[in-house]
Amino acid sequence: MKAPAFAYAKAKSLAEAFALLERPGARILAGGQSLIPSLNMRLASPELLVDIAGLKDLRGIDLRPGVLRIGALATHAEIERSDQVSKYAPLLAQAVPHIAHPAIRNRGTLGGSLALADPAAEYPACALALNATIVLVHRRGERRVPASKFFKGLFDTDIRPGEIVAGAEFPSVERSVFLELTRRHGDYAIVGLAGVADASGRRIAYLGVGATPVFAENASRAVSLNAALEVLGRDLQPAADLYHSSATKLHLAKVLLSRAWNTLSKPH
Amino acid sequence: MGKAELPLHAPGTELDRGYIGQSVPRPNAQRLLQGRGQFIDDLRFPRLAHVAFFRSPYAHALIKHLDFKAALRAPGVIAVLDGRAVAEYCTPWVAVLAHLKGIKSPPQHAIAIERACWQGEAVAAVVAESRSQAEDAVALIEAEWQELPVVVDMDEALAGKNVIHPELGDNICFKREHDTGGVHDAFRLADVVVEETFHFGRHTGVCLEGRAILADYNAGEHSLTVYHATQAPHMMQDIFSRHLNIPEANVRVITKDVGGSFGIKVHVYPDEMATAALSVMLRRPVKFVADRLESFLSDIHAREHKAKVRLACSREGDILAFDLDDITAIGPYSVYPRTSGIEGNQVVNLTGGPYKHQKYRAKMHVVFTNKNVTCQYRAVGHPIAVAITEGIVDIAARKLGMDPAEFRRRNLIGDDAYPYTFPSGIKFEKLSHHKTLDLLLQTMKYGELRAEQKELRKQGVYRGIGLASMIEVTNPSPAFYGVGGARISAQDGATLRLEPTGMLTVMCSVTEQGQGTEAIFAQIAASAVGVSLDKVKVITGDTAVTPYGGGTWASRGAGIGGEAVLLAGRALRSNMLDIAAAMLKTDKAELDIAANAVVHKLTTEKKLELAELGRVAYFRPDTLPLDFQSELTVTRHYTPRQYGFTFTNGIQASLLEVDPDSGFVKLLKHWCVEDSGTVINPMLVDEQLRGGVVQGIGAALFEECIYGPDGQLLNGSMADYLVPMAGEMPDIVCAHVATPTLQSQLGAKGVGEAGTAGAPGAIMNAINDALAPLDARVTRMPFTPERILKALRKV
Amino acid sequence: MEHAVETTLTVNGVRVTRRIAPRVHLVDFLRDELGLTGSHIGCEHGVCGACTVRVNGEIVRGCLMLAVQADGCTVETIEGLSDSKELEGLQRAFHEHNALQCGFCTPGMLLAAQDLVRSGAKPSRDEIRAHISGNYCRCTGYQAIVDAIEETIHGKG
């Protein structure tokens, strides 16, 4: 399947990117690992692709007070290799090997994944569990959105016209666990769990269970595994997919919760 | 090296094997390793045009109107055509065969006229200077449709409330009944009767190289050269000739490198016929490569069955009778020219295959639906027959409290019982069920695995061991297709030519898609003639070059093509010795050929280099006796004559673990013991078995073409249709027993499909063995976590 | 409307400048414009791995990268890596183990395998399987490929 025709421009600066994005039918091209397949399958027909890969401001993984700031253009491979991520955002380090395969991870980016907000993607659930802050830039400055407010619907985020994801800031936590169920290595998750815990309690988020990543509020507050399993059905009403009924998805979510519980409950 | 055998050996006698039986790396793999193969899409031609098809979005609809105005104006467009325009260059076909009594199917055109009968059927063609431009123009075609009732479900198709082709009266393409008699009584009187209904999800081949064809018509000669990723170039030569009205000898079909076929590429596809017709119409080369999305919609599907099977046995465990009721859903047309009735026919022929019962009754229906067409795909019918047989056998064994291996041992046809006629009418020359069972149990350390399984169950770990005995059709005679009127050749030929420098060129009508055809022909030819392997060059896949033959299908390449190569090689050797005797002025009986030279037969002293023999024969015949004519090119043909099908046997085992919480299956190991007669290259055979096993695992655990109620394919992409990848596959241990066929000198039976035939049954039995203590059973393939959790009553 | 974009890239050591339509993906460019047909197309949605090539030293899916995105980049394909002999060891092991049949997945598989070989890791068989789990092979059943990679990394026996 060959992509439909479109124009292409590579932005040399953020200012240029903002200007290009004002053109009709303009879309951002970063890693392209989700956008290009959709173009090849003629599921999308943008008029103009604005390549932001040259914007150095959007790169980098830096430790800042209390948070690890990862630039939007950081590739999954860079995140996978990063000592900083292992140390200060281990949830991401656990999640990233599940993302597709090495050739995809060499090109796909954090910003692209957050902006696309695929409900089966790993980073959005991690961001939600960590209550990360997504940093957006626009002509006149910066806007910071907590993950809990960022993912609004199916492939729908709080990004406003004229904004570009610049990066995300991930707070440190004591304990984290990422688990995913796939039938084959590297597949989109059937369900996945991103969980963190520290003195203030647990935060458990799921992927693959709804139109967005879902924060399991009741289960996070439960005091025991049995209690959490009982109330999980209130947090998740997963839609069926091609292979799994709603009941199966909820069942598998409970299986993951059972597997994650010990790590989230170690005494400190 | 080889020995002269004058006169030729009688079948079954010892022969000096030369390269036969050696695991030689394939000479023609080198270019593939460097990315220097030549697949159809790699070829470049002047004025090459590309075709893309406008495909029906509906499963069943009248084409009220097609508007090409906007498409015709699009950049790079050469032509936009509907079914009627293409029909002026390509006649329709009907896929029926006389020996499938009562089979019926309506005529099918290269591009649908008036009505589309499955989602994805081509209803218009756009030819442009590039594929991108052709696709752009396809998107500009406007169409008006009138939707018609859609038939999706096989039972509904059989009931016939909505008949897809009213002129045929019902939706039954083919039905067959078989009854040995005595079945009713056998069941009535039996101590134990077990019954189960097994479902098999329709799935497809997913060759990594999409279907590919490049047709090049020369108007100046009224000749057509087709570069075609096909398994059967001579069959296609005949079909292009008849349907495009071009004399047979003016049609040349060339195959080049083929990126996987597995039966998918042995059928006639309307879009490929259209491509050839367009080349004739437009008088320029036209190429079509099916992209992945259209592959899922239009490559043949296979194996959608619902089979109810019953088994009667005595309380001691002797199987008395099998009773089968099978229904299979095909597309809206039987596929040309092999028909879509064969798969179901095979299920009837093969169910119960390895066992000694005498009573058998079967009923089978093949029904039309508005889903993609189906036809022969690797192992054709065997995966179904083996799974239902081995599945019901395990159920019977469990009911009697007998170990499944012992139950099989009691019932497998004895190794000394041959020749044997099976209750379905098929005839076995000689099989080795017991030898293969023994070898399997010993290789896998069956007893230890059972003990380990028992221990692990106490710890809540559920392992399963599943067995699957099987028989397999190979080396078919015209009994498969020819007797029904199909112009499909069951014989093959090989031409061997000694070159002046002493090299050997082998041209054979069997084709190569990676299984190693060319390698084994080189091994056989080198052994038969007496040259070293590096002196041999093999050419396949060109109707203008090779003898006429059948190509690759039904596991026939080694047994039939190989025998032709062997016969030609021995005959060439004899001719070479005639020349050598004349040159050396000695008695031919004292000479032999070994290691690229004529030698003294007894002392092995080198007498004459083959390069010298070639020089004299080709350039200095004036030095040979006056009445002598050299003949260094020899052709021989071969077809099996004693048995309509040369059956092989084998047995597989799967060891796996089921996680009762998640329903996930982890494959731990797989074994495959196979008797395919003489093995020419053990490494290549083991590779074929492993590749086949993994395809069968795909069917058992992952692959299904899922259709919605309105006939829409819901998972037609590589993201949604799951094929087996390396991460989930087990190591597969292969072992062999060898019972050569006496029909040929080589003694080779076929083996290409064996892995696929047995693996699904072995996996199913292993899963059910794991689930047995949990009082759960699965019977619907593929065995997804959902289906396993349902069986466990967890969802 | 699309306008062709002037793009300069180095392919197998040779500097190439072309005006390329933005919609052309890298593997189509390599195959159709440069005649490097060793990289294959199996799905065009990034799943099968047949199109795997190396860009700036990293393996990528050639169908998921626009040729214009490769401006200023170094691209290596199966042809170049064969001629430079970088893949010689793997190719020999693949040949001896018959880790290929039809050959269509093979260039992508070799690129993916070489990525693992170059990393310096000492993977188990399971880890090898995981690394090539993004490359679809329909012919071999994968075992011979794992054997060939294992032997290349760990040596024979």
Q: Which of C94, C139, C140, C149 to mutate to test the interface with B (most CBs of B within 10 A)?
A: C139
Q: Which residues of A touch B727 (CB under 8 A)?
A: 184-186
Q: What is the phi/psi pair of residue B520, to 5°?
A: -70, -35
Phi-psi region of B177 (alpha: psi -120 to 50; beta: other; left: phi over 0): beta
pLDDT at B645 over 60: yes
pLDDT at B72 over 80: yes
Is the Cβ–Cβ distance between B230 and B288 less than 8 Å?
no
Q: Which residues of B touch A244 (CB under 8 A)?
A: 784-786
- pLDDT for A266: 73
pLDDT at C82 over 70: yes
CA distances from B699 to B264, B377, B782 (A): 15, 12, 6
Q: Do C65 and A1 touch (CB under 8 A)?
A: no
* pLDDT, mean of residues B312-320: 98
What are the residues whose beta carbons fall under 8 Å from the beta carbon of B312, sequence distance 6 or more? B186, B187, B190, B192, B193, B319, B320, B321, B323, B359
Alpha helices in A22-159 (DSSP H): 35-40, 76-81, 83-88, 90-95, 102-105, 110-116, 122-130, 147-150
- pLDDT for B10: 37
Question: Which 3 state secondary structure label does DSSP give A230?
Answer: helix
Output the average pLDDT for chain B.
Answer: 96
Burial class (CB in 10 A: 0-12, 13-18, 19+), B712: middle
Give the pLDDT band (50/70/90) at residue B18: confident
CA distances from C6 to A51, C3, C18, C70, C71 (A): 15, 10, 6, 11, 8
Q: Report which residue type is found at A159.
A: I
Domains of chain C as residue ranges with CATH: 5-81 (3.10.20.30), 86-154 (1.10.150.120)
What are the residues whose beta carbons fall under 8 Å from the beta carbon of C120, sequence distance 6 or more? none
What are the residues whose beta carbons fall under 8 Å from the beta carbon of B45, sequence distance 6 or more? B214, B216, B285, B287
| Size of the A and B interface in Cβ pairs below 8 Å | 65
Token reading at C86: 């970088």
Q: pLDDT (tens digit, 9 = 90+) per residue, B407-439? A: 999 999 999 999 999 999 999 999 999 999 999
Assign domain A56-171 to its CATH architecture. 2-Layer Sandwich (3.30)
Alpha-carbon gap, residue C98 to B612, rounded angstroms? 35
Alpha-carbon gap, residue B202 to B343, rounded angstroms? 12
Q: Which residues of B365-398 are buried (b: 16+ CB within 10 A; e: fewer)?
A: bbbbbbbbbbbbbbbbbbbbbbbbbbbbbbbbbb
* pLDDT, mean of residues A152-156: 95
C10 part of contact set with chain B, CB < 8 Å? no
> What percent of chain A lies above the pLDDT cut of 70?
99
- pLDDT for C157: 65
Phi-psi region of B3 (alpha: psi -120 to 50; beta: other; left: phi over 0): beta
* pLDDT, mean of residues B755-760: 98
* Residue range A175-265 in CATH 3.30.70.920: no
A45 part of contact set with chain B, CB < 8 Å? no
Q: Do C91 and B33 touch (CB under 8 A)?
A: yes
* pLDDT, mean of residues B655-681: 97
* pLDDT, mean of residues B677-703: 97
- pLDDT for C2: 67
Alpha-carbon gap, residue B485 to B477, rounded angstroms? 13
* pLDDT, mean of residues B693-717: 98
Q: Do B786 and A243 touch (CB under 8 A)?
A: yes
* pLDDT, mean of residues C75-103: 98
- pLDDT for B651: 98
C64 part of contact set with chain A, CB < 8 Å? yes
* pLDDT, mean of residues B110-124: 98
Give the pLDDT band (50/70/90) at residue B17: confident
Q: Which of A6, A241, A242 to mutate to test the interface with B (most CBs of B within 10 A)?
A: A242
CA distances from B630 to B64, B419, B503 (A): 68, 44, 16
Question: Which 3 state secondary structure label does DSSP give B202?
Answer: coil
Q: What is the pTM of this model?
A: 0.97
Segment 55-94 of chain C within 8 Å of chain B by CB: 77-79, 82, 91, 94
- pLDDT for B12: 39
Q: What is the phi/psi pair of residue B148, to 5°?
A: -115, 165
Q: Which fold has domain A7-51?
A: 3.30.43
Closest CA to B639 of B506, B517, B478: B478
Alpha-carbon gap, residue C104 to C108, rounded angstroms? 8
Containing B239, the helix (H) or strand (E) segment is helix B233-244
Among partner residues B136, B717, B794, which is closest to A251 by beta-carbon distance?
B794
Alpha-carbon gap, residue B270 to B254, rounded angstroms? 19
- pLDDT for C117: 97
Is the Cβ–Cβ distance between B315 and B192 less than 8 Å?
yes
Output the average pLDDT for chain A.
Answer: 96
Give the pLDDT band (50/70/90) at residue A171: very high
pLDDT at A268 over 60: no
Q: Do C102 and B260 touch (CB under 8 A)?
A: yes
Domain range list for chain A: 7-51, 56-171, 175-265
A185 part of contact set with chain B, CB < 8 Å? yes
Is the Cβ–Cβ distance between B570 and B633 less than 8 Å?
no
